[in-house]
Amino acid sequence: MDLERLLTDRLAPAFATVAGGPVDPLVRRSPRADFQSDAALALARRLGRPPRDIAAEVLAHAALDDVCAMAEVSGPGFLNLTVADRTLTDLVSELARDDRLGVPPTAAPETVVVDYSGPNVAKEMHVGHLRSTVIGDAAARLLEWLGHRVVRVNHLGDWGTPFGMLIEHLVALGEAEGADEFSMGDLGSFYREARAKFDTDEAFRERSRRRVVALQGGDERTRRLWRLLVEQSERYFLAVYDLLDVTLTGDDFQGESVYHDRLGAVVDDLDRLGLLVDSDGAACVFPPGFTGRDGEPLPLIVRKRDGGYGYPATDLAALRHRIDELGATRLLYVVGLPQRQHLAMVFATAATAGWLCPPARAEHLGFGSILGADGRMLRSRTGESVKLVGLLEEAVARATELARTKNPDWDDRTTAETGRAVGIGAIKYADLATDRAQDYVLDWERMLSLDGNTAPYLQYAYSRIQSVFRRAGAAARPDAPVILTGPAERALAIELLGFAAVVAEVEWSLEFHRLAGYLHRLATSFSAFYERCPVLRAPDELRQSRLLLAELTARTLRQGLHLLGIRTVRRM
Ligand code: ARG
């Protein structure tokens, strides 16, 4: 049981008595006591009574004696709550015996589709895909750990008009040679060459158009060439996922092409529902509530004038597939904020059509951009968007160099493994530790720093605890009595007991900076504890208790980082 929950459960009935109905006590950590409850203020306004009176009356009704050492009204009408040491030691002991660190599996498991990564065939993955991949993977890991059935969907851009020109380019190069050129790391140049020919060569353009028709018509050779492009790209993306340490596998590719045969039904069904409007030959839906700058209603184009279907129709088909066939009730879309309107219109259309209705719901987990040191969109020197792989390799190289300098006696393998865990961890953490709706600046110095809210800081805290255990020569005893001798130990105990509340919050908000912030606070509390409370030199009982606190900190850091997709290392 976490402390917020415990105090909330104790205060809620008292508030209900005073208010004559349910009131959330709004318990939170407080700089003045351990916790505070602010709910008396709003309640006082509602009841037209002085807030301090309300707070005092709530206190009189609340059964807090066995859990709080002190409970008092303060300021304009806050309740300040100081938890009894006995309560803390009991709960920490309970935590030590629980291999889920106080986090229960969900009582209401559901099927959740996490749509993330979604790179495009024959194109480099760029930093926008990095954010989607990192955030989506954290969502998948966390929800799975809570006991939900998670279906990872990698909505690969593997269909549409560009494939005409890409296949023609492959044919022009000769299949074998073309496939060679189109291998690791050359995706970008292959695409650019094809594009250049398409833009300048009329005959090539015409061949490309015919090729699209052949592809959609299922022409065998064309399909084979297309598969070649898709497979090479998938192989490349999987290599990136491996480097990035994300849980996406080859089985999770559910490209746009998968829905090709269902697009007709989407349009027919919308038509039957009377939702289709012809606009200049294009079949459109006008979901309510979307207008352009001029106040005109905005169309969602489901079939283009040339008869082709596009991105919106595909997303509608995918949504139906996820609900009807995969049985999902929670649909997550981890996609950049520029696609906010597109997704909102898809969701609104699906809701109007009756395809998306409770208990099923769709959420767009949007995110901002990664900026360069100049505060502008991250670009390479030549002005193109930065390749993801280059970025990851640089992170690993920098972290490996740091590891080598710090530990010159290590063998190459240990140095490389540590460099990889720290470098990749640093990149992922920098992404997850900021509010995802915000842009953030990619700052190597800061994200690799051993101080501050960074992965290396947390990994270092973890490795420091491992070294304590190496020196102790024994593990902590889970049944060792917990002894709290001073404020640093108390503060650490309170942080340890806060893990469950954070995880429970992030299950719904999927705001991973809250989990990151928690882990950072925990590591900081541990540092303060470790500075003031000797562990190995303490007398036996106290030493056991402190080893237990250290071990719980390590387990929590490890589990928390694991949920974020970040590895811990035993030495740093
Ligand atoms: N391929 C798209 C892109 O690169 C992302 C796909 C997002 N998912 C979706 N269901 N639309 O922008």
Nearest CA among 559, 533, 561 for reference residue 548: 533
CA of 254 to the centre of ligand 1 (A): 11
Taking CA atoms only, the protein residue closest to ligand 1 atom 5 is 118
C-beta of 118 in contact with ligand 1 (< 6 A): yes
pLDDT tens readout for residues 56-109: 999 999 999 999 999 999 999 999 999 999 999 999 999 999 999 999 999 999
pLDDT digits (tens, 9 = 90+) for 207-258: 999 999 999 889 999 999 999 999 989 999 999 999 999 999 999 999 999 9
According to the model, what pLDDT value does residue 269 have? 97
Nearest ligand 1 atom to the CA of 120 is 1
The verdict on the CB of residue 113 being under 6 Å from ligand 1 is no
Q: pLDDT per residue over 360-401, tens digit each?
A: 999 999 999 998 888 777 766 566 667 788 889 999 999 999
CB 55 within 8 A of CB 77: yes
Answer for the pair 151, 113: CB distance below 8 angstroms, yes or no.
yes
Amino acid present at 152: R
CATH of domain 455-563: 1.10.730.10
Ligand 1 midpoint to CA 157 (Å): 7
pTM: 0.94
DSSP string, 85-139: HHHHHHHHHHHHT-TTTT-PPPSS--EEEEE----BTTS--BHHHHHHHHHHHHH
Q: For atom 4 of ligand 1, which residue has the closest CA?
A: 119
Share of the chain above pLDDT 90, in %: 85
Q: Is the CB of 131 under 6 A from ligand 1?
A: no
Share of the chain above pLDDT 70, in %: 98
Instruction: Return d(Cα 297, Cα 285) in angstroms, integer.
Output: 10
In short, whether 155's Cβ falls inside 6 Å of ligand 1 is yes
Q: Which residue of 132, 234, 259, 339 sits with most ligand 1 atoms within 8 Å of its CB, as the best mutation to test the pocket?
A: 339
Q: How far is the CA of 122 from the centre of ligand 1 (A)?
A: 14
pLDDT digits (tens, 9 = 90+) for 318-347: 999 999 999 999 999 999 999 999 999 999
What's the CATH number of domain 111-156+256-364, 3.40.50.1220, 3.40.50.10540, 3.40.50.2000, 3.40.50.620? Answer: 3.40.50.620
User: CATH fold of 3-83, please?
Assistant: Gyrase A; domain 2 (3.30.1360)
Q: What pLDDT does residue 73 have?
A: 96
Between 58-62, 179-183, 202-206, 414-418, the lowest mean confidence (pLDDT) is in: 179-183
Q: How confident is the model over 278-292, as pLDDT tens digits? A: 998 999 999 999 998
The pLDDT value recorded for residue 174 is 82
162 within ligand 1 shell (Cβ under 6 A): no
Cα–Cα distance measured from residue 165 to residue 408, given in angstroms and rounded to the nearest whole number = 52
Question: Is residue 315 lining ligand 1, measured as CB closer than 6 Å?
Answer: yes
- Alpha helices, DSSP H only, in 433-485? 444-447, 455-472
- State residue 308's pLDDT score: 86
User: What is the domain partition of the chain in residue ranges?
Assistant: 3-83, 111-156+256-364, 162-246, 388-443, 455-563
Task: Look at residue 186 in the predicted model and tell me its pLDDT.
Answer: 66
Nearest residue (by CA) to ligand 1, atom 2, is: 118
Q: Give me the phi and psi of 316, to 5 degrees please.
A: -65, -45
**DSSP-derived 3-state class of residue 328:** coil
What is the rounded CA–CA span in Å between residue 27 and residue 5? Answer: 8
Q: How far is ligand 1, taken at its centre, from the CA of residue 166, in Å?
A: 19
120 Cβ closer than 6 Å to some ligand 1 atom:
yes
